[in-house]
Amino acid sequence: MKKLQIAIVGAGPAGLAAALYLKRSNNHVTLFERFESASPAGSGLILQPTGLTVLDDLGLFQAIQGLGRRIDRLYGADALSGRTVLDVRYSALKGGRYGIAVHRAALFCVLYDAVLSEGIDIQTNVDVVSLEVGAGSAWLVTDAGRRVGAFDLVVDASGSRSKIKKFAHKSCEPKPLTYGAYWASLKWHSNGFDEFSLQQRYRKAGIMIGVLPIGKASVAGVNSAAFFWSTKPDEEAKLRNAGIAQWKDNVLSLWPECSVYLDQIGGFDDMTLARYGHHTLPFPIGRHLSVIGDAAHSTSPQLGQGANMALLDAKALDHALRTSSDIASALSVYASSRRGHIRAFQALSRAFTPFYQSDSKILPFIRDRLVPAISGIPPAPQLLASMVSGTLTDPFEPIGLREKIWI
Ligand X SMILES: Cc1cc2nc3c(=O)[nH]c(=O)nc-3n(C[C@H](O)[C@H](O)[C@H](O)COP(=O)(O)OP(=O)(O)OC[C@H]3O[C@@H](n4cnc5c(N)ncnc54)[C@H](O)[C@@H]3O)c2cc1C
**Chosen residue from 7, 13, 205, 239 binding ligand X by CB under 6 A:** 13
Smallest Cα–Cα separation from 287: which of 93, 150, 120, 127? 150
**Chosen residue from 6, 7, 10, 167 binding ligand X by CB under 6 A:** 10
Whole-number minimum distance, CB 158 to ligand X, in Å?
4
What mask, x for binding ligand X by CB under 6 A, covers residues 271 to 300? Answer: ---x------------------xxx-----
Transcribe 39-83 into DSSP letters: ---SSEEEEPHHHHHHHHHTT-HHHHHHHSEEE-EEEEEETTT--
DSSP state of 119: T
Whole-number minimum distance, CB 231 to ligand X, in Å?
12
What mask, x for binding ligand X by CB under 6 A, covers residues 120 to 159? Answer: ------xxx----------------------------xxx
Whole-number minimum distance, CB 7 to ligand X, in Å?
10
Give CA–CA dist 179/301, Å, rounded: 11
* Residue 364 C-beta-side C-alpha neighbours within 13 Å: 20
Give CA–CA dist 330/378, Å, rounded: 41
342 binds ligand X (CB under 6 A): no
DSSP state of 282: S
Question: Is 302 or 337 the residue whose CB approaches ligand X more closely?
Answer: 302
Helix (H, G, I), strand (E, B) or coil at 387: helix
What mask, x for binding ligand X by CB under 6 A, covers residues 83 to 122? Answer: ----------------------------------------
Choose one: 6-14, 168-176, 245-253, 393-401; the region binding ligand X (CB under 6 A).
Answer: 6-14
Whole-number minimum distance, CB 226 to ligand X, in Å?
8
Whole-number minimum distance, CB 46 to ligand X, in Å?
4
Helix (H, G, I), strand (E, B) or coil at 13: helix
Q: What is the 3-state secondary structure (H, E, C) of 195-257?
A: CCEEEEEEECCCEEEEEEEEECCCCCCCCEEEEEEEECHHHHHHHHHHCHHHHHHHHHHHCHH
Question: Is 15 or 398 the residue whose CB approaches ligand X more closely?
Answer: 15
Whole-number minimum distance, CB 281 to ligand X, in Å?
12
Whole-number minimum distance, CB 401 to ligand X, in Å?
17
What mask, x for binding ligand X by CB under 6 A, covers residues 167 to 196? Answer: --------------x-x-------------
Q: Cα torsion for 327, 332, 335, 340, to the nearest 10°?
A: -150
Whole-number minimum distance, CB 377 to ligand X, in Å?
27
Question: Is 45 or 92 the residue whose CB approaches ligand X more closely?
Answer: 45
**Chosen residue from 1, 5, 42, 278 binding ligand X by CB under 6 A:** 42
Whole-number minimum distance, CB 378 to ligand X, in Å?
26
Question: Is 305 or 368 the residue whose CB approaches ligand X more closely?
Answer: 305
For helices 13-24 and 306-323, the axis angle rounded to 10 degrees is 20
In angstroms and rounded to an integer, the radius of gyration of the C-alpha atoms of the chain is: 21
Smallest Cα–Cα separation from 153: which of 41, 9, 260, 38? 9
Smallest Cα–Cα separation from 13: which of 105, 128, 101, 98? 105
Whole-number minimum distance, CB 238 to ligand X, in Å?
21
DSSP state of 4: P
Question: Is 342 or 371 the residue whose CB approaches ligand X more closely?
Answer: 342
Question: Is 9 or 320 the residue whose CB approaches ligand X more closely?
Answer: 9
Give CA–CA dist 109/26, Å, rounded: 23
Scored b (16 or more CB within 10 A) or e, 80-109 reads eeeeebbbbbbebbeeebbbbbbbbbbbbb
Helix ranges (H only) for 230-326 are 236-242, 244-254, 259-262, 306-323
What is the end-to-end Cα distance of the chain in Å, rounded? 37
Give CA–CA dist 379/16, Å, rounded: 37
> Which residues inside 301-340 make contact with ligand X, applying CB under 6 A?
301, 304-308, 310
**Chosen residue from 6, 31, 46, 102 binding ligand X by CB under 6 A:** 46
Whole-number minimum distance, CB 309 to ligand X, in Å?
7
Number of residues that bind ligand X (CB under 6 A): 34
Question: Is 83 or 275 the residue whose CB approaches ligand X more closely?
Answer: 275
Binding residues for ligand X (CB under 6 A): 9-15, 32-35, 42, 45-46, 126-128, 157-159, 163, 181, 183, 274, 293-295, 301, 304-308, 310
